[in-house]
């Protein structure tokens, strides 16, 4: 059984705090310290201690480095019983206070390696979170703003107006799609996102014009949450040959 270097017995509230140093080079077995207090701090050490108050019938509380145990106002203890199941070459220090001294804001330095990336919060990298806020605001200094404008006159072929480059993410912030009917048979046109294999990902805009020549539509969309596109996905216009079209789009490219 280890012997603390401080064996003074205090039964009165004549002190603010008392520091007790424990030799932990061997296991501590039922070491009793008679002292009155309301708060117990583990101020220095690197092993867990099991502490019982007054007697062991109610079990023990594990106290760890930088942990504090506080009794309610008007409550306290006059004896603590300490046990440990591991040893260390360094000693441990406990601070017992009468409640007049409050010790808070403990911090501990983390060293070594970890299987968890502690620079992440909620599974997301802090830098990426900040970048995403900038993406939403459309003001990111880390991205490249892209703006496109295309005129399509009576085309029956799919027209690709933008393709997301390799190793790049593109966030589409908004589009403008203005159409004008050029033939009395009517016009139909679509603004689509396609994947690299030519499959439809999403429809952004659809314009269906009546059989009146000169009939027109203007559709403008701004996305509060930008639409994400990955490498090789493309913005395409699909239409019949009876439509004049003006297309504008804008967004930001980021490294993938």
Q: Domain residues of the chain, as ranges? A: 17-97, 142-255
- Per-residue pLDDT of 25-60, as tens digits, reads 888 888 888 888 888 888 888 888 889 887 777 788
* Whole-number pLDDT of residue 5: 41
pTM: 0.49
Q: Which CATH class is domain 17-97?
A: mainly beta
17-97 and 142-255: identical CATH topology: yes
Mean pLDDT of 161-184: 89
Which of the listed CATH numbers 3.50.50.60, 2.60.120.20, 2.130.10.10, 3.30.470.20 matches domain 142-255? Answer: 2.60.120.20
Cα separation of 92 and 67, whole Å?
A: 13
- Residue listed under structure tokens 């239409």: 239
Question: Using CA of residue 227, residue 232, residue 233, residue 235, what is the dihedral sign?
Answer: positive
d(CA 144, CA 177): 23
């Amino acid at each position: 059984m280890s012997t603390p270097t401080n064996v003074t017995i205090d039964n009165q509230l004549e002190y603010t705090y008392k520091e007790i140093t424990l030799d932990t080079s061997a296991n501590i077995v039922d070491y009793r310290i008679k002292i009155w207090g309301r708060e117990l701090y583990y101020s220095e050490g690197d092993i867990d201690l099991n502490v019982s108050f007054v007697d062991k019938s109610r079990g023990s509380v594990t106290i760890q480095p930088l942990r504090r145990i506080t009794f309610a106002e008007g409550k306290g203890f006059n004896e603590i019983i300490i046990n440990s199941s591991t040893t260390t070459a360094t000693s441990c220090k406990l601070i017992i206070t009468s409640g007049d001294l409050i010790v808070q804001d403990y911090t501990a330095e983390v060293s070594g390696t970890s299987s968890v990336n502690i620079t992440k919060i909620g599974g997301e990298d802090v830098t990426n979170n900040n970048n995403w806020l900038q993406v939403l605001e459309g003001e990111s200094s880390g991205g490249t703003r892209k703006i496109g404008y295309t005129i399509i006159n009576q085309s029956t072929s799919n027209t690709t107006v933008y393709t997301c480059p390799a190793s790049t993410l593109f966030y589409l912030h908004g589009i403008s799609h203005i159409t004008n009917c050029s033939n009395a048979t009517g016009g139909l046109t679509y603004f689509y996102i396609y994947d690299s294999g030519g499959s439809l990902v999403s429809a952004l805009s659809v314009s269906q014009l009546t059989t009146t020549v000169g009939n027109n539509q203007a559709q403008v969309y701004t996305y509060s949450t930008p639409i994400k596109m990955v490498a090789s996905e493309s913005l395409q216009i699909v239409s019949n040959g009876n439509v004049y079209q003006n297309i504008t789009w804008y967004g930001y490219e980021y490294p993938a």
